[in-house]
Homo-oligomer: A and B are copies of this chain.
Amino acid sequence: MASSTIASTSLGKVTIIGSGLIGRSWSALFARRGYDVCLYDTVSSQLEVARSVLDTLLVQWGDEDWLKEGENAQTVLARIRYSDSLAESLNKAVYVQECVPENVQLKESVFKQIDELVGDDTILASSTSCIIPSKFTKGLKHESMCIVAHPVNPPYYCTLVEVVPSPWTTPETVKKTIAIQKEIGQSPILVRREVNGFVLNRIQYAILMECWRLVEEGVCSPEDADIALTEGIGMRYAFMGNFETMQLNANGAVDYCQKYGDNIKKICLEQQELGARDLSGPTLDKVSQYLNSKIPIDKLEERRAWRDDWLKAIAKEKIKRKDMALQNL
């Protein structure tokens, strides 16, 4: 391993800052592709936990053909080192992925430390889901190399990565970040402006708020709002977005908008009149009563495993249909 310069096809050293769930996932993804990974954490006992979780995860990936052809868990695990020294971790890194808790002061402090230790060509990416990058990168020596690369959990089945530059991030940094994310098998999208919620959560919260209003207004039960997704329109969102739906549900999108545009606007105006709601009060009682009876708090872990297994099945179906190309990594 060498190279402090970077191109989308040459590999190098990647540093992951923080060894929680997301940090471990990034480590596995970069190592699978062939990067040398250094996973950093301040707490060395946490690194031992991470090592043990990654050992298990990579063996599982090996069993499930979730690795590059001709490789096995050991090949990949051999590329991951663990360190509690930030300077050592960052030495010669071509790409850094920060995964510390979602706190703007903490991010600011971590980026300041990283800024002092990296070379001028290192990309500094944050995994934050909700903090715009200009809030914690302004004034750094390497501010033009700073960017957000927000994954979805678990990133190896849900491959979306939201790439969010700040106003001072260079186009070259944006381009390289997108190239690296594609290279490791992810699906980067570009968030061109720093908006709260980026793209994913803006869409997710629009859905959540509308489901909330439907329950609050007594139109349907929380259970039925969930069924409307799982047995109705949600069936298609794993492989087809809303714009493509417009194209297929009429003779193309222009025809769709001419036929249904006025009615859609009218319905959305009604939603708007109801407004954004506080997520509390009697509607929360109704929602949580239903959810706690369906999935009691002490069964959450079990249900999360069920969810991840479903996501895996859909990801495997995508590979089968060549909508995802794991074996071309």
**A120 proximal to B (CB < 8 A):** no
A277-329, CB < 8 A from B: 277-280, 284, 287-288, 290-292, 294-295, 297, 300, 303-304, 307, 310-311, 313-315, 317, 321
Q: Are B205 and A228 in contact (CB under 8 A)?
A: no
A156-176, CB < 8 A from B: 157-160, 162
Complex formed: what's the CA distance from A202 to B220 in Å? 12
Q: Are B202 and A222 in contact (CB under 8 A)?
A: no
A242-272, CB < 8 A from B: 242-248, 251-254, 257, 260-261, 263-272
Chain A facing B: main interface SS = helix
**A179 proximal to B (CB < 8 A):** no
**A106 proximal to B (CB < 8 A):** no
Known: A219-B195, A228-B199. A313 touches B317 (CB 8 A): yes
**A101 proximal to B (CB < 8 A):** no
**A78 proximal to B (CB < 8 A):** no
Residues of the B chain whose Cβ atoms lie less than 8 Å from the Cβ of A280: 257, 261
Q: Are B211 and A207 in contact (CB under 8 A)?
A: no
Residues of the B chain whose Cβ atoms lie less than 8 Å from the Cβ of A267: 196-197, 201-202, 205
**A87 proximal to B (CB < 8 A):** no
**A141 proximal to B (CB < 8 A):** no
Complex formed: what's the CA distance from A292 to B288 in Å? 43
Chain A interface residue count, CB cutoff 8 Å, equals 105
Known: A201-B267, A279-B257. A230 touches B240 (CB 8 A): yes
Complex formed: what's the CA distance from A121 to B167 in Å? 68
Contact stretch, chosen from A8-16, A42-50, A88-96, A185-193: A185-193
**A233 proximal to B (CB < 8 A):** yes
Residues of the B chain whose Cβ atoms lie less than 8 Å from the Cβ of A189: 220-221, 224, 227-228
Q: Are B210 and A222 in contact (CB under 8 A)?
A: no
New contact pairs (9) apart from A197-B267, A202-B214, A233-B237, CB-CB < 8 Å: A160-B231, A200-B228, A201-B267, A202-B210, A203-B229, A204-B242, A238-B238, A246-B291, A247-B292
What are 7 A-B contacts with C-beta separation under 8 Å? A130-B263, A160-B231, A199-B225, A234-B234, A235-B238, A252-B291, A253-B287
